[in-house]
């Protein structure tokens, strides 16, 4: 019997492509992959779409624990203590420079966060690292020169990315299965995972899965730590956070007369350990425009603050885009009107 995914090898001009793909099938399975054979793991109840319509997010099982993430956060703090020029050297600018769409280290400050100010929102201050296997592939010398703190951070994020790839793959397989017969979802898994689960192995087409480990700097307890927004990609996973504060709902919008509709109240969300919250971003309209993206914000309460210097919150999230990604939305589309 041909293993699942081998049909995706057809049409490539790389003579070693199949060999590399077969190699990934022989690697030790991640904790998440070990559960892929379970019918329950592939078919959540209620379905993902039912959960989206009811709560605007779906709960999906993940083998990434809070302890795993806290260990990575500790290593990230060591990395953040490095000189600014060292941190910035491990960065791959995106289409809009060092920020939206970039990989590696990113810092957003009240002084540089012009997008938020222009939209009448409180500017945010946070530092984060966007991990994808291409960071290691493109910046090996920069990582080596940065020393142990950078190398340890990359190793931690690589391990989390490999587990998260399996989580994301399982989730998209389930979403495609529950829409069997709907042409909009036909081939959905292949659109995001052209080579299946890659485990970050060189030579394969890694999914456009970006892991973001982020630390928020100290903010006024009466303000939002993260302003209301949609995520720009097709899907997002809220994997772990230091304290409660995530809220989801709908954005205020204008009707045809120009009047602002009353938004659904932002509802606090609790995420059990071993569970990721999965929701559609603005890019999901390219798949199914009948399901709106999830509007969300973060309110950090004083009693929940993690008081470590100027830090008051950390989060781990992941973003998944189609391998052949359509045009990205503008900042106005993702941050929109003030709700």
Task: Tell me if 19 is assigned to some domain.
Answer: no
pLDDT greater than 80 at residue 335: no
pLDDT greater than 60 at residue 329: no
Task: Tell me if 212 is assigned to some domain.
Answer: yes
Query: Across the chain, how many H-helices and E-strands are there?
Result: 11, 12
Torsion 115-121-125-129 (CA) sign: negative
pTM value is 0.79
Higher pLDDT, 189 or 338: 189
- Burial of 122: CB neighbours in 10 Å, binned 0-12, 13-18, 19+: middle
Strand-pairing partners, residue 59, are 277
Q: What is the pLDDT of residues 93-128, one digit of tens each?
A: 865 544 556 899 998 766 555 554 444 444 567 899
For the ranges 51-65, 73-87, 223-237, 243-257, the lowest mean pLDDT is seen at: 243-257
Q: Using CA atoms, how far apart are residues 24 and 20, in angstroms rounded to an integer?
A: 7
Task: Tell me if 22 is assigned to some domain.
Answer: no
The total domain count for the chain is 1
Task: Tell me if 14 is assigned to some domain.
Answer: no
CATH of the domain at 138: 2.60.120.330
Task: Tell me if 172 is assigned to some domain.
Answer: yes
Task: Tell me if 319 is assigned to some domain.
Answer: yes
Task: Tell me if 37 is assigned to some domain.
Answer: no
Tell me, what's the pLDDT at 117? 47
Tell me, what's the pLDDT at 95? 59
Task: Tell me if 29 is assigned to some domain.
Answer: no
pLDDT greater than 70 at residue 20: no
The residue segments making up the domain with residue 278 are 43-335
Task: Name the phi and psi angles at 129, rounded to 5.
Answer: -130, 125
Q: By C-alpha distance, which of 194, 261, 235, 281 is closest to 6?
A: 194
| Cβ 71 vs Cβ 63: under 8 Å | no
pLDDT greater than 80 at residue 51: yes
């Amino acid at each position: 019997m041909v293993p699942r995914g081998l049909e995706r090898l057809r049409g490539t001009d790389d003579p070693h492509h199949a060999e590399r793909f077969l190699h990934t099938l022989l690697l030790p399975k991640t904790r998440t992959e070990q559960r892929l054979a379970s019918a329950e793991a592939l078919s959540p109840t209620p379905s993902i779409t039912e959960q989206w319509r009811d709560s605007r997010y779906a709960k999906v099982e993940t083998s990434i624990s809070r302890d795993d993430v806290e260990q990575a956060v500790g290593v990230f703090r060591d990395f953040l203590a490095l000189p600014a020029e060292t941190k910035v050297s491990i960065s791959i600018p995106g289409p809009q420079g060092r920020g939206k769409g970039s990989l590696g280290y990113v810092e957003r400050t009240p002084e540089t966060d012009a997008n938020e100010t222009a939209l009448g929102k409180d500017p945010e201050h946070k530092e984060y690292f966007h991990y994808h296997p291409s960071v290691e592939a493109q910046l090996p010398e920069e990582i080596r020169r940065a020393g142990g703190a950078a190398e340890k951070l990359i190793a931690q994020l690589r391990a989390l990315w490999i587990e998260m790839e399996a989580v994301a793959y399982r989730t998209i397989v389930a979403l495609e299965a529950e829409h069997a017969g709907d042409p909009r979802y036909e081939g959905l898994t292949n659109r995001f995972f052209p080579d299946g689960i890659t485990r970050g192995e060189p030579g394969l087409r890694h999914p456009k899965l970006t892991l973001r480990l982020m630390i928020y700097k100290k903010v006024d307890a009466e303000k939002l730590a993260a302003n209301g927004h949609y995520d720009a990609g097709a899907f997002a996973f809220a994997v772990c956070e230091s304290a409660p504060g995530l809220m989801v709902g709908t954005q205020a919008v204008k009707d045809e007369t120009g009047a602002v509709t009353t938004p659904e109240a932002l509802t606090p969300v609790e995420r059990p350990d071993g569970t990721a919250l999965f929701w559609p971003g603005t890019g999901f309209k390219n798949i199914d425009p009948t399901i709106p993206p999830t509007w969300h914000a973060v309110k950090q309460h004083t009693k929940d603050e993690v008081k470590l210097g100027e830090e008051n919150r950390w989060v781990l999230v992941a973003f998944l885009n189609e391998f052949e990604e359509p045009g990205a939305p503008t900042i106005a589309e993702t941050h929109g009107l003030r709700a």
